[in-house]
Structure 1
Amino acid sequence: MTGLSLSRRDLMSGGLSIAGLSLAGLTTLNLAACSPPGSGKGDDKAGSLADLTLRVATYRGNPESFFGEAGIAAPPYKLARTQFAGGNLIAEAINARALDFGGMSEIPPIFVAAQPGNQVRIVGVLQGDVNNQVVLVPKGSPIRDFKDLKGKRVGYVKATTSHYILLRLLQEAGLSWGDIQPVALSPQDGLAAFQSGALDAWVIYGVIVYQAREAGARVLRTALGILSGNYLITAAKEALDDPVRFQALGDYVSRYKRVFDWINADGDRWAQARAKATGVKAEYYAQEFREKSSPSILGPISEAAIASEQAVADTFAAAKIIPSRVDVRPLWDDRLSSFLK
């Protein structure tokens, strides 16, 4: 099962339903098929690390894919890597017991928190870039302030940071959801709509921003001051509860943390490696690196990070995007924190 993702938040498949967070055609049966033989619930509980297969989510061209380039040796267990197109799908796969580990923004856990038997547990926080999440307007647009978008067509991606940015900017401008014409689109469809003139503004993220800018789009606003910059690493509760799988998770996150040291040390090297993996122009990645709001630092959970996600959840609840207020604290699990210090 594969997905095409230019960045951690670049491409999310269309067809996502807010109420049920459907997998856009991926069923629980499909997700179970992602599990390698012998790695299902209970199969490895009496085994050793050498017998275990850790099931991890990846995004094409993102840090999870560059352990070898970063000089990180192969772990003492097997890795089954599955590509996903968005954090929402990863959260659902964890809940379907098809994954042990995956990364996402602050948004997806909020939408699965109330699901019976929710397996998603937040085990660490990646402090990263927010300047690559922006509101774009087309070349030649007269719009100079977000308030100017009243009555205009604004594209966004449902249940992502894009959605959250739009809600916050509406609040900031004293506007309501009904004061604009919101258009929910996948990033791919959003790019086509934006370039055709069907949108007056587009709230979007990742390297796709630089593709649009090269064609003349202008950044009206970045997410600096809106987003926390917290991106989450998550694990399945059942994986954390299993002693052998827990040991593998701790080893994996400690290796994963080291990838970011390699990334932060050389932006041009990172851009070239990503370009080779994705086919996207290296200059887009290099520009993203040069303009980033902060280096990427993976660390343990904190009270500040929990409070940040609660504020995000409360924003979605106030806008009635989710049916009721969610207490996010039960989602957070500090059992891997010692591996991330």
Structure 2
Amino acid sequence: MTLTRRTVAGALAGSLLGTLAAGPARAGRTVKLSYQRSSTLLTILKARGTLEERLGAQGFGVSWHLFTKVIEPMNTGAVDLHADVADAVPIFTQSAGAPLTFYAMEAASPRAEAIIVPEESSIRTIADLKGCRVGVSKGSGCHFILAGALQRAGLPFSEIRPAYLEAADGLAAFERGDIEAWSIWDPFLAIVQAKRPVRVLADATGLSSYNRYYTVNTAFAAEHPGIVATVFSALVEAGLWVKGNPKEAVALLAPIWGDLPPEVVATVNARRSYAVRPVDRAALSEQQAIADTFFEAGLIPRRLDATDVPLWQPPAGRG
């Protein structure tokens, strides 16, 4: 299949594509979950009806909410359990004082995000980005990768021209040549690599592990720890299933992701670990490095203790 702007935008764009109710709540309570197109494991659980079955047995209905801009719903508590997000995103929600509890994380996948330029570009190093227009989604993990790579190269963030674009818009801008470089994550990274030759200036290696974090509203976690435990266990199982059944996973995800070519989906799945585990506070030390970088670049208004966040832990035998 030919990858076109229409194909990608139709499948991957939109700020909020609506609430997809999946069955009535037996006890008058619906658990609201958000996800985004990079939320592979949540997408699988939704497609297979796993949570509808398991939470339904506990007397709860389920509704799904698809976002591309995830920070606002995380800050406002618009849903109960939030889309998994790249490591940089919680720095912005923490800075805003959002009452969120971390309940799971995916292990490192540093090759799943990168700063790229067209293969024919004269830009060959991060230092060459001085004065260039660089596309990036504000507040994303790739925002940090860009800031961190610039810092490592000795180039102040102020010496590039950031173009804050959501991913689908960034893809279109990159194709038109409206931006000279793009800091982006999968599946968009894999999409553009399949469409044209590109040069990777840097991926997250040495800058970030690209852990993905799952959060829940703190009040909801306190009131319904059993629901959180059920979702956690389902995520662990989904991650194991993707890695253990790669062809089946591609067949399931390709049509959901806008009929992407199977090889693109396979590339995305190969670069992600999908290894879901409880959050260890010691592991948040990398979050501190991200927070410090953002503060020094003027992207957040104050210094943060990025390790000072509530953590949910699974019951014995479920982690």
* TM interval, short-chain normalised: 0.7 to 0.9
- Counterpart pick for 1:81 among 64, 68, 71: 64
One-letter code aligned to 2:154: G
Amino acid in structure 2 at the alignment position of 1:252: V
How many angstroms does 1:309 deviate by?
1.2
Q: How does 1:305-320 map to 2 (within 5 A)?
A: 305-320=283-298
State the partner residue of 2:36: 59
Letter in structure 2 aligned against 1:152:
C
One-letter amino acid of the structure 2 residue matched with residue 267 of structure 1: P
Partner AA of 2:222 in structure 1: D
Q: Is 1:157 matched with 2:140?
A: no
Task: Tell whether the 8 Å contact from 1:126 to 1:299 is kept in structure 2 after alignment.
Answer: yes
Instruction: Look up the match of 2:90.
Output: 109
Quick check: 1:153–1:199 contact (8 Å CA) kept in 2? yes
CA distance in 1, matches of 2:71, 2:316: 27
1:140 matched to which residue of 2?
120
Q: Pick from 156, 162, 187 the counterpart of residue 207 of structure 1.
A: 187
Alpha-carbon distance in structure 1 between the residues aligned to 2:21 and 2:88: 25
1:99 aligns with 2:80: yes
Question: Identity of counterpart residues, as a percentage?
Answer: 24
Give the SS at the match of 1:102: coil
Following superposition, the deviation at residue 340 of structure 1 comes to: 4.7
Question: What are the superposed Cα offsets for residues 12-44 of structure 1, whole Å, 9 maximum, x if unpaired?
Answer: 86xxxxxxxxxx7x8xxx99x8999998xxxxx
5+ residue gaps, structure 1, are 1-5, 14-23, 40-48
C-alpha contact (below 8 Å) 2:106/2:273 kept by paired residues: no
Supply the RMSD in Å over aligned alpha carbons: 3.1
Partner of residue 251 from structure 1, selected from 227, 230, 237? 230
Deviation at 1:93, TM superposition (A): 4.5
Q: How far 1:335 moved relative to its partner?
A: 3.7
> What code does the residue aligned with 1:182 have?
P
Partner of residue 170, structure 2: 190
1:1-341 matches, within 5 Å, as: 52-60=29-37, 62-67=40-45, 72=50, 74-75=53-54, 76=57, 77-94=60-77, 96=78, 98-115=79-96, 118-213=98-193, 214-242=195-223, 245-279=224-258, 280-290=260-270, 292=271, 295-336=273-314, 338=316, 340-341=318-319
- What corresponds to 1:16 in structure 2? none
Equivalent position SS for 2:202: strand
Q: CA deviation at 1:90?
A: 4.0
* 2:256 aligned counterpart, secondary structure: helix
Report the counterpart of residue 20 of structure 1 in structure 2: none
Q: Find the aligned partners of 2:22 and 2:72 in 1 and give their Cα distance.
A: 18
Aligned residue pair count: 302
1:96-147 CA distance string (max 9 Å, x none): 4x3244321222322222445x321112211142212011111311222211
Q: Deviations over 1:224-279 (max 9, x none)?
A: 2212231101111111121xx22112112112211001001122221221112122
- Cα pair 2:105 2:211 within 8 Å, conserved: yes
Q: Is the 8 A contact 2:81 2:216 kept in 1?
A: yes
1:51-101 Cα offsets, whole Å, 9 max, x none, are 54222112357221323777958212322222122432441342x4x3244
Shift in CA distance, 210/112, structure 1 to aligned 2, threshold 3 Å:
closer
The question of whether the paired residues in 1 share the 8 Å contact of 2:41 and 2:274 is answered with no
The CA deviation at 1:322 is: 0.7
Equivalent residues of 2:103, 2:215 under 8 A apart: yes
- Mapped to 2, the partners of 1:123 and 1:167 lie a distance apart of 27
> Which of the pair is proportionally richer in helix?
2
Gaps spanning 5+ residues in structure 2: where? 1-7
With normalisation by structure 1, the TM-score equals: 0.78
CA contact (8 A) 2:22 2:63 kept: yes
- Kindly tell me: are residues 210 and 241 of structure 1, through their superposed partners in 2, closer, same or farther at Cα, counting changes over 3 Å? closer
Q: Which amino acid aligns with 2:290?
A: V
Structure 1 37/241 Cα, relative in aligned 2: closer, same or farther at 3 Å? farther
The TM-score normalised by the length of structure 2 is 0.83
